[in-house]
Amino acid sequence: MILFKKEHQLQYYLNTLRLNKKSIGLIPTMGALHEGHLSLIRKAKEENDCVVCSVFVNPTQFNNDADLEKYPRTEANDIELLTSIGTDIIFMPSVEEVYPKELNTTLGLDFGELATTMEGEFRPGHFDGMAQVVNRFLNMVQPHSLYMGQKDFQQITIVRNMLIQLGSEVRLVMCPILRQDNGLAMSSRNVRLTPENRALAVKVSQTLSAAKNLIDKKTPKEIEEWAMQELNIPKFRPEYFSIVDGITLQLIEDFGKTNSAVACTAVWAGDVRLIDNMILKS
């Protein structure tokens, strides 16, 4: 394992690999790593000569300072975990390294309705910041393949759109959601759940699974309404439960008229915001 903090040092190293025709896989993360993140690294290791995992809590994708402040940071543990599974390179740049004053890193792409529904409605500007940082890491690392999780379904859909708009040849690999035994989707934010809310949070994945079993019996709208009620338990507050087309992310009116349907939800469990999704039809 080699740890880099500076872009130019990382690039110097990666250029040599590229000259030797080695393939490079990139996994961008915000740290506080768990098995879900590690599953992306393992997948990338199967498919690449060199795996780069970046750990960077990106300030431009947070809507408020308090959320950024509260984001868990576990650098030493992240390095230990990444080393234990044989990650080739860890890239941990500072904010100044990612956003140097002299460099204009704003992307200025329009993601249209992909970025205004669901997370976009509740976290305005979030996806512009996310796309900005992913693009910046793509420029710094210049990988052949990029590994991202289905856990953030809207995010990966927007990154796919970004790659198309940029005419990028980077291969985007979507990795499945890793869950705890009880179904709770693994997330860096789970460490902030109270024990009581952690136990109750299983309701999120249970509701998604139940929604999947209802697609032959109810309309998308009926399922959405039912799910919002199911998730409305004490100390929990569902923000949305939307059944959308897996490509356009627009609400579906009739399961018969689409080939791909995904249920996406965001729920506040106390002061922790959880997101999860399930592919209902693909």
For ligand AMP, which stretch binds (CB under 6 A), given 32-40, 46-54, 134-142, 199-207?
32-40
| Shortest separation between residue 200's beta carbon and ligand AMP, angstroms | 18
Piece of the chain touching ligand AMP by CB under 6 A; list 147-155, 163-171, 207-215, 264-272: 147-155
Among 38, 39, 144, 200, binds ligand AMP (CB under 6 A): 39
Beta-sheet pairing, 89-91 with 236-245: unpaired
Site string for ligand AMP, 169-198 (x = CB under 6 A): ------x-xx------xxxx----------
Nearest to 179 by CA among 153, 161, 160, 206: 206
Measured CA distances, 144 to 36, 54, 173, 194, 216 (Å): 22, 15, 11, 40, 41
> Based on the number of CB atoms within 10 Å of its own CB, is 260 exposed (0-12), middle (13-18) or buried (19 or more)?
middle
Q: Where are the strands (E) in the chain, listed by range?
A: 2-4, 24-29, 50-55, 89-91, 145-149, 171-175, 236-245, 261-269, 272-281
Judge whether 37 counts as a catalytic residue.
Answer: yes
Taking the C-alpha atoms of residue 81 and residue 35, their distance in angstroms, rounded to an integer, is 9
Tell me the two tokens of residue 6: 């500076």
Question: Does residue 148 belong to the site contacting ligand AMP (CB under 6 A)?
Answer: yes
Q: How far is the CB of 96 from ligand AMP (least distance, A)?
A: 20
40 contacts ligand AMP (rule: CB under 6 A):
yes
Residue from 9, 32, 29, 18 nearest 133 by CA: 29
- Between 122 and 226, whose beta carbon lies closer to ligand AMP? 122
Q: How far apart are CA 202 and CA 84, in angstroms?
A: 29
Nearer to ligand AMP by C-beta: 40 or 267? 40
Count of beta carbons in the 10 Å neighbourhood of residue 55:
23
The distance of closest approach from Cβ of residue 104 to ligand AMP in the complex, given in angstroms and rounded to an integer, is 24
Nearer to ligand AMP, 176 or 222 (CB): 176
Contact segment (CB under 6 A) with ligand AMP among 9-17, 110-118, 148-156, 254-262 equals: 148-156
269 binds ligand AMP (CB under 6 A): no
* 157 near ligand AMP, judged by CB under 6 A: no
The angle, 0 to 180 degrees and rounded to 10, between the axes of the packed helices 126-141 and 7-19 is 50
Residues with a catalytic annotation lie at 37
- In the complex, which residues of this chain contact ligand AMP (CB under 6 A)? 29-30, 36-37, 39-40, 148-149, 151-152, 175, 177-178, 185-188
